[in-house]
Structure 1
Amino acid sequence: MDNMENKRIQRPLKKSIQYGCIVFVLVLCVFLGVSIYFNYKNLFIKQSQDHIRQIINYVIGYIDNDDLKQCMETNVESPKYKEMMAFLDDVKEDLDPQYLYVIKPLSEDDGNHVLVLLSAENYYDRYEYTEGNLYLGDVLEDEYTKEEVDQMRVIMGEKDIVFMESITYWGHSYCGYYTLHDSTGAPYAILGVDIDLTQMSKDILYKTLGNLVIIIITGAAFIFGFITWASKNITDPIEMLERSAIRYIKRSREVSSPEMLIFEKPDLNIKNEVESLSNTINQMTEDMKDYMFRIISAEKETIHMKEVANTDSLTGVKNKLAYDDEVKQLDIRLKGNLINELGVIMMDVNYLKKINDTYGHKYGDLLIQNFCSIVCDIFVHSPVYRIGGDEFVIILQKNDLANSDKLLKEFEKALNERASGEFNPWEAPSVAVGVAYYDRNKDTDVEDVFRRADDAMYERKKEMKAERLD
């Protein structure tokens, strides 16, 4: 029973459900968190692309490409250049890109050098805090990597806007590059618009965390609701049913009658499979009880029938069928050296035919019954078998075997007292007796012992007949 209790609590269903719900919600949070993060990022990138495209389309309609190219080549600001610079400053103020500029990647021999044509600034940086401003003809030497400059050279051959992430001296940005062409169609510079990804990443993170908080709260509410529901409808009823089953098993090992074997069905009112299982188990235990009653009844009937089949109906002692079965069992025990002592007494009742012929069979039966009464009173520890009409065998066992001589004398004395007393012939039986004991050197089985006892009985019968003739 202790083992059953230990097994019962090794992996409780309630805890498994709790752990499963928690793991499910955590996995869901991770999955949704990653999904939300990338969805927001993609959304922000899409919005950034649209914003960059809007700025570029707005700006390229104002640029005089031939004038700007000439300013690049002469390194002299023209009136149109100054107007364009003011225009770009206004665009930066109004549309708020991180950076708005026109640059040109220099030849491969110059490595990662980039020529500045124009860089938009807000009002404060343009007219008050001018340190760090970029002007026409400035060359950036370390702000871009060689890979980025090489990529710019490739972009110079593109006709549409190219988007890319960039980590430079000025920060982490999402950039849109558009190649500017002069009136002949020759590319000469790149119009660049940068959107700050640092703030964007923070915004994405905050929005993701906000959504995760909502998911976690919702998940916690789901866990609480589901566990409460599962406890009421599944785990608690199963535990109650299990405890009832364990009590039933324990009781089944203690009670002596199926009548006392009762399954205490838990009081469930959940209308689901667990309640149906409880009802099924209860019905099963009742059917088992009925089955056990039928088995017990059948066993009793079998025992009774066997007793009837092995009992002599006239005397109540065992019959020839019981004797044959006992001989088989004794032979097995002798061959297995389970016993080494055995005694057989063969008895034959005299004058049975004479009494039947003289007084009738009723008195012959009384003779046999009186004989059996005397034998059973003396040989109380040994079975008595009626193997013929007037023939009986006693298999000496236990104390009767050890005291066989004494018991035989008591038997002879009891017969003599009846013979010398005032008894009717059927009340004073005359008996011829033969005795033999198992001898390992002479006997191979019980039949050998019986044969010697039978021979001794017939010898005694001859002697008794000779004594009557004298």
Structure 2
Amino acid sequence: MKKTVTKLKANVRVFIIALIFMMITQIIMGVVLISMSNKQLREQINARMLDTANAAASQIDGDAVKRLTEEDMQSAGYNKTLITLRLFQQNIKLDYIYLVKIDEGDKFSFLIDPDTERPGQYGEPIKTTDAMINAANGRADADKEAYRDEWGRFYSAYSPVWDSNGDVAALVGVDFNADKYDEELNQHKAVVVIISMIATTIIIGVVIVMHTFALEGEKAAYRKELDETLKREKVQEQELGSVRQLAYTDPLTGVKSKRAYLEAIERLDREISAGSSAGFGVIVFDLNGLKNINDTLGHEEGDRYIQAGSALICDIFSHSPVFRIGGDEFVVLLEGKDYESGEKLLSEFNKKIEENLHSGKVVVSTGLDEFDPRFDISFSAVFERADKKMYERKCYLKTIAV
């Protein structure tokens, strides 16, 4: 009898220890899932805001907004930018999007606010944040902490708007309501807590009845949550993919944008610093006579001239990335197959241009140079040599055009 009682007490102790262990495990898993959910949600919001800000910035004419003053608030340039911002606000899930004016001394103010209820007025100061300063220096960034102003409490992201000289003309700001974020996070926490409680109850019942199938309920709940999370991530990735495509594509020509060009330069500089560059060439292109066409025939005709030049570049250099880096400037990076036959392709291109000189078609000046590992310590050294050759070619074309 005593042995039986002892055995029963031992079984009770084992059951209690197993139960406590399972409850502690559930609590730890709940804490881990909540932490992962919080981090994942914050990263998704940052990515959504940055991609939206980058896409909007790529659609805005930096030269036009740089010239805007308070007297231009109803001009064609102002209305075009206002419509662009309003389209983003209406078609992408966000709270606010607006154009920021860069003032002196790390100060910022509203330039254009498409909000229809309480728009920020031209010149109205905006609270300065680290992300705003980074964007003004040319690097898109998102705030790490929420801030509060008269419109509410927000997480924000900012992206630079470039002008044709490669300077930051203004910033696109995107706001996400921090209270909505907290609400969504609390919903995630509630789901995790409920799932953990259900799993714990199932485990207790199963242990009492038998010591098998202890984790099946928990696994099923976890798999369901994981499947739902993966489905949400897939939908969000599809949404973000279309926004990224806008940010890295020049809207007029369809070639790669200046943002894509800057990322390519960063990659090549890293390879040069690491001594792992396989070699590359740079061709600088400049469209002759674009300013005269814009001044005499109008900007629509100038846009068609840019598109014709871009099409000719893409036709000849079909295996290399083509970037539009300014109003009339393009760059081709020669890597792989086109790098080996760069001189031949350029000769074919220049021959076509010389034929165009007397036919009224697009004329493009070019300059090619290649990376030399013995002397070059950065991409800019190769670019500068190619740019110099392009100007020499431009002078030559003027002499034979007479």
Q: TM-score range by the shorter chain?
A: 0.3 to 0.5
Larger Rg: 1
TM-score by length of 2: 0.46
Name which structure has the greater RCO, CA cutoff 8 Å, separation 6+: 2
TM-score by length of 1: 0.40
